[in-house]
Amino acid sequence: MSLIFTILNIVVLVGCMVVLGVMQARRVSFAKRVLTSLGLGVVLGLVLQLVFGRNKEVLHGTLPWFGLVGNGYVAFLRMIIIPLVMVSIVSAILKLKDAKNLGKMSLSVILVLVLTAGIAAVVGEVSALAWGLDAREITQGQAELSRALTLESKASQATTSLPSKILEFIPTNPFLDMTGARSTSTLAVVIFSAFVGLAALGIRKKYQAEAELIQKLVDAAYAVTMRLVGMIIKFTPFGVLAIMSSTLASTDYGAIINLLKFILASYTAIIVMFIIHLLILSAFNYNPWIYTKKVWPVLTFAFMSRTSMGTIPLTVEAQTKKMGISGAIANFSATFGTAIGQNGCAGIYPAMLAVMIAPSVGIDPFNVTFLLTVALVTAVSSFGVAGVGGGATFAALIVLSTLNLPVALAGILISIEPLIDMGRTALNVSDAFVAGAVTARVMGDVDMKVYNDRNIEIAESQAQ
């Protein structure tokens, strides 16, 4: 009987995918297809939970097939990250008129990411205080206690100095980093690609023929890579459908009720920080409504997939094609945003934990000095947090250990981690967009006609 229900669930998933395929064939806009996939995923996931929530055998048989679609799509996105980053950055640097602009651009991106991380920490602190969060009020089960012991053992590994973290960005073996072997591999590839681009830029005067050949090769590689990106991005609605339905079908709703106050406080902080992002964009003369409309499909995917790194191709594509931002800035902000200043995972989350844990060790969470210290430590510690699932826990370990707070209490959130991580990841990606947009304004390297063109997406969908 379980096998029959499993097959039936798979058939329903295929049916939903057929609906999305028909919409694509009829040239329905990308944004509408993503919204439809999100709605179908919510309905399908809730139905699976309500009907088979107690029949774990059916869900265990069904979800791997859903994961084949959802996780498969994320895997394809990750497949093109390294080629996209390398080719795009080298290509963009070759188009720079002055190599000095590279340093100014990088500094601007990093400053925006770190400063917004500090702001996010303050927002997290205020939200935790406003909701009256206190770790002593949360019941810890066996799973949470087990996770706590694991976190304690990892704490010593997380407490590395800032200079040590920066050294980890250097690609001592760029070919190893191209395999994604380290949490900082993507950023290391960015740095390596920047050096390759600068080297190619530097030979123009002495070796003109070679420089022209390199330019042609890079242009050809860039064209092929972007075509590959476009091919994979077309499958975004299918990935969103599968990931959303799997997430809701496997969610522990009992844990959500038990930790509802923390969930609400987290999403309050996330929403407030999203608003701050819009205010920052407005200050740099970007229309926030147009911004929201153009990036929300990317943020939706980030929300579903819980991976900032896997969203890089979508982030770059949206910045260059829909926002008019140059390829260099788009790639630097998208990749730096996966390892520096993540507002959700490395900003809000560690700060909230610090505030809610403080009373358990006799610290007044309303103490201004304590709050400022937490915000500063959080901002500085936001370097080197990997843009994949689990990055927030690593960031929390760093902040809590630096503040001499018990890291074991972070284990109390084990049951609801995926639910909160969805919103945090979307906020991380939004911050990468903000860093790119602000830097583009500072550098004067943004085409506002493209940004303000509300018909770009319609034209793209018709061209598919």
List of domains in the chain: 2-463 (1.10.3860.10)
As given in the structure block, the two tokens for residue 401 are: 């250990």
DSSP for 146-163, please give it.
Answer: HHHHHHHHHHHHH---HH
Alpha-carbon span 188 to 177, nearest angstrom: 7
8-state DSSP, 411: G
Residue with tokens 């507002």: 343
Residues 6+ apart with CB under 8 A from 140: 148, 411, 412
| pLDDT score, position 58 | 85
Size of the chain, expressed as the number of residues it contains: 464
| pLDDT score, position 385 | 60
Alpha-carbon span 216 to 236, nearest angstrom: 31
- Is residue 392 within 8 A of residue 345, CB to CB? The reply is yes
| Residue 447, CA distances (Å) to 61, 277, 297, 437 in order | 49, 20, 21, 11
| pLDDT score, position 254 | 65
pLDDT band at 414 (very low <50, low <70, confident <90, very high): low
Ranking 17-21, 150-154, 173-177, 289-293 by mean pLDDT, the lowest is 150-154
Alpha-carbon span 420 to 349, nearest angstrom: 9
Backbone phi and psi for residue 222, each to the nearest 5 degrees, phi listed first = -65, -45
- pTM comes to 0.80
Alpha-carbon span 91 to 217, nearest angstrom: 10
Give the distance from CA 27 to its chain's centroid: 28
At 286, which amino acid appears?
Answer: Y
Ranking 34-43, 92-101, 124-133 by mean pLDDT, the lowest is 92-101
Q: Which of 301, 299, 374, 381 is nearest to 340 (CA)?
A: 381
Q: Which of 238, 203, 232 is nearest to 83 (CA)?
A: 232
Give the distance from CA 37 to its chain's centroid: 20
As given in the structure block, the two tokens for residue 253 are: 């709703």
- 362 Ramachandran zone, left/alpha/beta (phi>0; psi -120 to 50): left
Compare 384 and 174 and report the one with higher pLDDT. Answer: 174
Alpha-carbon span 340 to 111, nearest angstrom: 10
pLDDT score of 445 more than 80: yes
pLDDT score of 142 more than 50: no
pLDDT band at 66 (very low <50, low <70, confident <90, very high): very high
| Residue 269, CA distances (Å) to 130, 304, 407 in order | 10, 19, 22
Across the chain, mean pLDDT equals 84
Q: How many other CB atoms are found less than 10 A from the CB of residue 358?
A: 22
- Is residue 188 within 8 A of residue 169, CB to CB? The reply is yes
Backbone phi and psi for residue 383, each to the nearest 5 degrees, phi listed first = -75, 135
Alpha carbons within 13 A on the beta-carbon side of 55: 14
As given in the structure block, the two tokens for residue 112 are: 């925006």
pLDDT score of 457 more than 80: no
As given in the structure block, the two tokens for residue 414 are: 């084990």
Stretch 365-376: mean pLDDT = 94
Q: Which residues are registered as beta bridge partners of 159?
A: none
